[in-house]
């Protein structure tokens, strides 16, 4: 039994993911938040800027200082915009200090990062120290730097894992139609994320150019080496939270709907946070919002021979802060559901 809690730092506390980490870690029995940082600390308690935190914490954002974080805490969550952690991670990596990076900076090869994020990548020696970790398939890590998966990538990979791991996907027929609530875009306002453009509307964006395409392809390729491409689009749902992924795939070898259902059920039988729906039932977003669950359902069309897989998650929890805590739980050897036993609000 731990006599003292693990101390955590959150960098990027003023963003949606940082605030979600702070909210979830409040209930974690073994991890407590000791340091929070933002770019413009004013010395005031965090609750002055975010009144929903009144009376919950006694913390003020500090300027980012890697040495201070390493002296005061045991793990750091980097909840920073893309393009930041690649520049601030070095001291942690050199000291082998535990990091869970929620951004996309350490998920890809240098070439892919440059191509899809249009930014200068971290140096190869730093990239080599990071480990991409889809938490439900956590492998005993050999590194302290964990690249937490992206939100769309999480929902998509969990939808395809049972098939790819058994080399069953027809590599030329993997079509993903993914939709996200607006909190996935972070707090910065843009024309496309303006209320008037999102409310009562539905828009596809970044067709064939979304930065999660290489992340998904890279992991699918590890599971099923002949996969090199996916067809992937993203759209904005006029809701705050939630991702709904529809995957349309063909199989290399015929399988009955019952065999497919069993394959999914067997793959996820011991995975706390992935729930497979009963045969021919498909999940909806509301059943997972506010939780760390990914709910998955499938339906097969014998005429077109397309299998449709629906996967839903809360982008802020399973797609970001919740999965980050799940990864931290694995890292420290806590039961993976510690601090994450959440039930959807539903109504
Ligand atoms: N929102 C989501 O659903 C998901 C987000 N993610 C990833 O998590 C990360 C955070 O996302 P999200 O919270 O939505 O983003 P936000 O835009 O809401 O917040 C970004 C945070 O990064 C901080 N930041 C920006 N520039 C710097 C800098 N130069 N140095 C230090 N901190 C900086 C901001 O601080 P300040 O306020 O002081 O500017 C802010 O706290 C991103 O990389 C995102 O891609 C991943 C999966 C899902
Ligand atoms: C709705 C919305 O805009 N979502 C964001 C998700 C961004 C994200 O999570 O970024 P990284 O994983 O690349 O860090 C997007 O589509 O770009």
Report DSSP letters for 35-95, one per residue. EEE-SS--SS-HHHH-GGGTTT-----B---HHHHHHH-SEEEE-PPTTTHHHH-HHHHHT
User: Among the atoms of ligand 1, which is closest to the Cα of residue 19?
Assistant: 13
Is 151 assigned a catalytic role? yes
Q: Note the helical H segments in 165-252.
A: 195-198, 212-223
pLDDT digits (tens, 9 = 90+) for 267-306: 999 999 999 999 999 999 999 999 999 999 999 999 999 9
So what's the ipTM on this one?
Answer: 0.98
Q: Quick one: which of 21, 49, 42, 50 has its CA closest to 33?
A: 21
Q: What is the pLDDT of residue 246?
A: 98
Supply the pLDDT for residue 346.
Answer: 81
Give burial (CB, 10 Å; 0-12/13-18/19+) of 136: buried
CA dist., res. 24 & res. 3, Å (int): 21
Residue 324: its pLDDT value, please? 98
* Ligand 2 in reach of 15 Cβ (< 6 A): no
Compute the distance from residue 1 Cα to the ligand 2 centre, in Å: 38
- Does the Cβ of 327 fall within 6 Å of ligand 2? no
Pair of tokens at residue 268: 């996820």
The count of other CB atoms within 10 Å of the CB of residue 337 is 14
Alpha-carbon torsion angle 320, 324, 325, 327, nearest 10: 140
- Domain 6-149+318-332, CATH number (from 3.20.20.100, 3.40.50.720, 3.40.50.300, 3.40.50.12140): 3.40.50.720
> Residue 2: its pLDDT value, please?
66
pLDDT tens column, 245-267: 999 999 999 999 999 999 999 99
Average pLDDT (155-163) is: 98
Q: How far is the CA of 37 from the centre of ligand 1 (A)?
A: 12
Ligand 2: residue whose CA is nearest its atom 2? 185
What is the Å distance from ligand 2's center to 244 Cα?
14
CA 23 to chain CA mean position, Å? 16
Residue 282, helix vs strand vs coil: coil
Q: What is the pLDDT of residue 192?
A: 87
> Are 64 and 87 in contact, with CB atoms under 8 Å apart?
no
Architecture of the domain whose range is 152-314: 2-Layer Sandwich (3.30)
Tell me the C-alpha distance between 79 and 88, whole Å. 12
Chain position carrying tokens 């409040």: 26
What ligand has the least distance to the C-alpha of 42? 1
Distance, first Cα to last Cα, the chain = 38
Q: Where in the chain is the domain with CATH 3.40.50.720?
A: 6-149+318-332
- pLDDT tens-digit series, residues 66-125: 999 999 999 999 999 999 999 999 999 999 999 999 999 999 999 999 999 999 999 999
What is the model's pLDDT at position 140?
77
Determine which one of 17, 100, 151, 328 is catalytic: 151
- Predicted TM-score of the model (pTM): 0.97
Round the CA-based radius of gyration of the chain to a whole number and report it.
Answer: 20
Helix runs in 199-241, H state only? 212-223
pLDDT value of residue 235: 97
Whether the Cβ atoms of residue 220 and residue 160 lie closer than 8 Å to each other: yes
Cα 272 to Cα 305: distance, rounded to the nearest angstrom: 31
Phi, psi torsion values for 9, nearest 5 degrees:
-115, 145
Over range 222-246, report the average pLDDT.
98
CATH 3.30.360.10 segments of the chain: 152-314
- Mean pLDDT taken over the chain: 96
Is residue 1 pLDDT above 80, yes or no?
no
Residue pointed to by tokens 């809690």: 5
Burial class (CB in 10 A: 0-12, 13-18, 19+), 142: exposed
Give the Cβ contact number of residue 311 at 10 Å. Answer: 29
Rounded CA-CA distance 281/284 in Å is 10
Range 154-173 burial, b when 16+ CB lie within 10 A, else e: bbbbbbbbbbbbbebbbbeb
Query: How many residues does the structure list for the chain?
Result: 347
């Amino acid at each position: 039994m731990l006599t003292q809690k693990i101390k955590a730092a959150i960098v990027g506390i003023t963003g949606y993911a940082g605030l979600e980490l702070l909210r979830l870690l409040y209930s974690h029995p073994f991890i407590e938040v000791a340091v929070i940082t933002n770019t413009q600390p004013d010395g005031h308690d965090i609750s002055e800027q975010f009144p929903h935190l009144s009376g919950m914490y006694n913390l003020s954002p500090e300027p980012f200082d890697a040495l201070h974080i390493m002296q005061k805490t045991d793990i750091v969550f980097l909840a920073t915009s893309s393009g930041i952690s690649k520049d601030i991670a070095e001291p942690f990596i050199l000291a082998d200090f535990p990091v869970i990076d929620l951004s996309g900076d350490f998920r890809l090869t240098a070439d892919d990062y440059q191509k899809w994020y249009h930014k200068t990548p971290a140096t190869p020696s730093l990239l080599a120290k990071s480990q991409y970790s889809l938490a439900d398939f956590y492998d005993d890590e050999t590194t302290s730097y964990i690249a937490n998966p992206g939100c769309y990538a999480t929902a998509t990979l969990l939808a395809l894992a049972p098939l790819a791991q058994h080399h069953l996907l027809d590599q030329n027929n993997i079509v993903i139609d993914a939709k996200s609530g607006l909190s996935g875009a972070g707090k910065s306002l843009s024309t496309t994320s303006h209320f008037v453009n999102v409310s009562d509307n539905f828009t596809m964006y970044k067709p064939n150019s979304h930065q999660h395409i290489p992340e998904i392809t890279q992991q699918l390729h590890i599971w099923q080496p002949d996969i090199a491409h996916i067809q992937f689009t993203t759209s904005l749902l006029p809701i705050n939270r939630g991702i709904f992924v529809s995957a349309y795939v063909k199989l290399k070898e015929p399988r009955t709907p019952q065999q497919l259902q069993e394959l999914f059920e067997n793959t996820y039988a011991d995975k706390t946070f992935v729930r497979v729906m009963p045969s021919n039932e498909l999940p909806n977003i509301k059943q997972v919002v506010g939780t760390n669950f990914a709910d998955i359902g499938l339906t097969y069309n014998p005429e077109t021979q397309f299998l449709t897989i629906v996967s839903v998650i809360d982008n802020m929890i399973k797609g970001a802060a919740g999965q980050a805590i799940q990864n931290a739980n694995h890292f420290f050897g806590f039961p993976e559901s510690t601090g994450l036993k959440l039930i959807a609000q539903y109504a």
